[in-house]
Amino acid sequence: MSGIDPIETFRQEAQELLETLEQTLLDLEQRPDDKDLVARAFRALHTLKGSGAMFGFTAVAEFLHDFETAFDRVRKGEAEASKPLVSAALKAQDHVADLVAGGDDPARGQEILANLRAAVSGAAPSGATPCQSAASTPAGAPASETRGWTVRFALPADALVLGTNPLLLLDELRGLAPAKVRAAMAAVPSLEAIEPSASYITWEVTLDGPVALEAIEDVFLFIRDDMDLAIEPLSPVVPETEEKAPAPETAASESAPTPAAKKPEKQTAANERAATSLRVSAERLDELMDRVGELVIAQARLNELAAQSREPALGAVAEEIARLTASLRDTTMSTRMVPIGSLFGRFRRLVHDLSRDLSKPIDFVTVGEETELDKTVIEQLADPLVHLIRNSVDHGVEPAERRCASGKSPTGTIRLSASYRGAEVAIAVTDDGAGLDAVRLRAKAEEQGLIAPSTPMADSDIYPMIFQPGFSTAKEVTSLSGRGVGMDVVKRTIDGLRGSIDIDTQLGRGTTVTLRLPLTLAIIDGLLVRVGDERYTIPLAAVEECVELSATGGVETRGRNFMNIRDALVPFLRLRELFSVPGEPEPFQKVVVVASGSTRVGLVVDQIIGNNQTVIKQLSRLHSGVKTFSGATILGDGTVALILDVMHLVGFGQSLEERRRQDRMGRAA
């Protein structure tokens, strides 16, 4: 097994910090007075700088040092977090991402830093002047009365492991004033007892110059809670007009005494916190899921053998194995489930930049970030959602002047939401824009030969034309739209995930595009049923209830079959007819009532066999056009059962019933 690549580990952690920084900057644009957001952004910058220097990313550390210095004025209250400043900071964050990925453009970096400094300099806070800074007049020890400081600090034993570099701290202190550094080695153990990754040295730094106390404390801002730190003033200079008095004790010296020699501990609180999480590669999770899937199949085979042998001891073991397998499956599945908020956060920057480029003020709202999806599904959703959001901003939301003329707010709204709906997750992109014009869409479809001019079509059948390759209603090609590419990618990706797309639109009011997706692509609980001699699996999360079909076989209305369930009419489909099963139906047929979105439909089967854990095996490319089945599974006896795709099956059944109704009407005429 190959070792862990520290550079790749740094890049992964840097990516997480950069995402945190981006989200914080976007929040700061909305809440510029929120000091917690400013502190969070500064922490991300500081951590990135230290990690970059430790892993040899010198260009990253140097750029971040200047980035941090400029942003420090915001933290100290010398500048406001204005929109120009946030915009410049976002560009600086993009440049850091390029440097982490291996890019190197010093000229571009200097240009970005110059713009950032200009944005900071031109954003002095109202009611304050730049000279009113905490750095110039710190509480407890005015710089004019203190000629220097003695700083003693000892890092926690695990500081080096967690990425803290004492040399960088010393460099920052040297940057404040002329400094003398002394290393106290009393706590260093013998060579046999030394831990290579532990921190033993106590550092003493004498700063000879008028430095603000707060500036010194800022050096240790992110490690203060876990370290020993003492800051004491050198002998003060007393003005001649005042009587001499004892040197005042600073707040820092009261709260943080001079550290004693500190021996490293094998297990510190920081170590315990670090041990609560572990980074695991996605490939290992996929491999684990494959093994669990094979275990589920083997466990089903064991259950089959135990049922055939009728041996009590074997049956007890089979039940225990089934319980453990189910627990292992659920645990493994939970490790693959990721909150969709990790994906939603990426689009805030997209909308921010599109709003600026198109000069359209837009509010971006997200709902349901805690909704969880299989990581495989989330990984493939990024591109479709990018295209949908770009389409909503470019084509959906009107310019501010046109919105005002139609009585709308000049600021448009894009809403991205996620929610559970039975066995599915529904992800909706909603805008309050112009809506889809069915007449215009049909004219464009006829122009491109997608439909014949005389073909009768409902508006609901015209709207999906936007997902056809090359289809676009844009009058001119721009950098964002007009070439008819993008929306077909959405359709192709969602079909590959066994999902479906719904479009709800009102002309002049807006459009909602809803993606319906299965919760997972690996293992599900299934309901095994029999139709004729074949067995099928229905995803159990989609099943609402099972009832027996009455002897009358329900009622027929307008060519569709309905059954009465607690005074509610529920349409049902006979799977024997859908699958063209030969022979007569059995006398006591059962109805499995399933839900797809808000639609309830009954599926008539010959027998309900029972529940089972279903390992989904994908069908071959030769069967990619068969939408009724989402895959197959191997049963305990080694035979194969097809897994019914409830969403496509309901749609297929409804269209089949509609064709039959039209045929009967045609024959009657």
Beta bridge partners of 536: 529, 642
CA torsion sign for 78, 84, 87, 92 is: negative
- The whole-model pTM stands at 0.60
Q: What is the CATH number of domain 523-668?
A: 2.40.50.180
The secondary element (H helix, E strand) that includes residue 150 is strand 148-154
Beta bridge partners of 430: 415, 512
The secondary element (H helix, E strand) that includes residue 230 is strand 228-233
Answer yes or no: CATH 1.20.120.160 is held by domain 6-121. Answer: yes
CA distance 161 to 180: 27
The arrangement of secondary structure in 340-518, i.e. its CATH architecture, is 2-Layer Sandwich (3.30)
C-beta of residue 628 within 8 angstroms of C-beta of residue 649: yes
User: Looking at domain 283-338, which of 1.10.287, 1.10.730, 1.20.1070, 3.40.50 is its CATH number?
Assistant: 1.10.287
Q: What are the backbone angles phi and psi of residue 511, rounded to the nearest 5°? A: -140, 145
* Predicted pLDDT of residue 518: 75
* Predicted pLDDT of residue 410: 92
* Predicted pLDDT of residue 228: 85
Strand 500-506 and strand 510-518: the pairing is antiparallel
C-beta of residue 232 within 8 angstroms of C-beta of residue 271: no
Specify the residue for token string 């040295």.
201
The encoded tokens of residue 578 equal: 């859908």
CA distance 439 to 465: 12
Q: What is the CATH number of domain 143-237+250-262?
A: 3.30.70.260
CA distance 608 to 594: 14
Angle, vertex CA 419, rays to CA 415 and CA 424, nearest 5:
130
* Predicted pLDDT of residue 631: 80
The encoded tokens of residue 628 equal: 């009724």
C-beta of residue 418 within 8 angstroms of C-beta of residue 498: no
CA distance 280 to 290: 16
Domains 283-338 and 523-668 belong to one CATH topology: no
| Burial (Cβ within 10 Å: 0-12, 13-18, ≥19) of residue 52 | buried
CA distance 96 to 105: 11
Which regions of the chain are under pLDDT 50? 1, 123-145, 237-275, 477, 479, 482-484
Domain ranges within the chain, ordered by starting residue: 6-121, 143-237+250-262, 283-338, 340-518, 523-668
